[in-house]
Amino acid sequence: MGIVKLGNPVLRQVSRKTIRRTRQRATIEKLYKACKTTSAWGLAAPQIGILDRAFLMAAPIVQNDINLKNKKNDGPLPVVEKPITSEESGLSLFYTGIINPKVTGMSEEIEVDYETCLSIPGIAALVPRHSWIDVEFDTHTGDRREHRLYGHPARVFQHELDHLDGIVYLDRILNTSDIVVESEIPDFGAEDDSIVEGCMVESQTDYAPRDRSSTTSDHPGNPKLENPEDEVKAYFGSMYVLAA
């Protein structure tokens, strides 16, 4: 099963809510099969030509979250079958199925970091994302979960959720000069601070994301902004509508 590339109209369509459990399981199984042939932190259903509101992502550690309102959710997320080892990075990633996701809250703080996409091979770009988000979703085992995600997991979730709404990460960039050839980023693909042997850190309070606060203004070809943080917030603030 191939990955749908940018230019295919399916990537610009809004996915439908997935209700039937049999369809949910079938979509997750197809996503898992596709992940076996590639290296990805996440993969959304539209990227394999299915317009369901579902995606896979490397399973974050979510237990012991001090912000959790519903304590029955205070446990590890279910994983899909066995971990998949990336030939490129050597990491073994457990994946969890995310179905009918929505963002219910987000940080005011914005982090800018590089992203790539299997549907847009060969390039990367600096993308502003909320540093943490509150999310709700169904797991592939049928449980409804509510969690707060931080740092890298929050970025992956936002990236994949965009796919379900017909948005690709290039739509989020602030400056076209932030688009680069992937191989030109010296530390891209290096182990993220929040990843240990393919799993997220045990305690969210221990997570210290890499400082990318000056990345955009320091990138070659970008103009120096008088107040880049305010510009990012003003631009990015209109991008999400909180779920009712």
pLDDT in tens, the chain (244 residues): 689 999 999 999 999 997 788 899 999 999 999 998 887 899 999 999 999 999 999 998 775 565 556 555 667 888 998 899 877 767 789 999 999 999 999 999 999 999 999 999 999 999 999 999 999 999 999 989 999 999 999 999 999 999 999 999 999 999 999 999 998 886 654 444 333 333 333 333 333 333 444 333 333 333 344 555 555 444 444 333 333 3
CA dist 26 to 30, 43, 140, 142, 185, Å?
Answer: 6, 15, 10, 13, 37
Q: Which two tokens stand for residue 230?
A: 């305010």
Residue with tokens 């549907």: 119
CA dist 189 to 26, 49, 115, 129, 153, Å?
Answer: 30, 26, 10, 18, 15
Q: By the 8 A CB rule, do 84 and 92 touch?
A: yes
Alpha carbon of residue 213 to chain centroid:
19
Q: By the 8 A CB rule, do 45 and 164 touch?
A: yes
Q: Which residue type occupies 205?
A: T
Q: Which listed residue (109, 115, 160, 229) is catalytic? A: 160
Element at 163 (helix H, strand E): helix 151-164
Residue with tokens 């680069």: 180
Residue with tokens 């169904």: 138
Confirm whether 108 is a catalytic residue: no
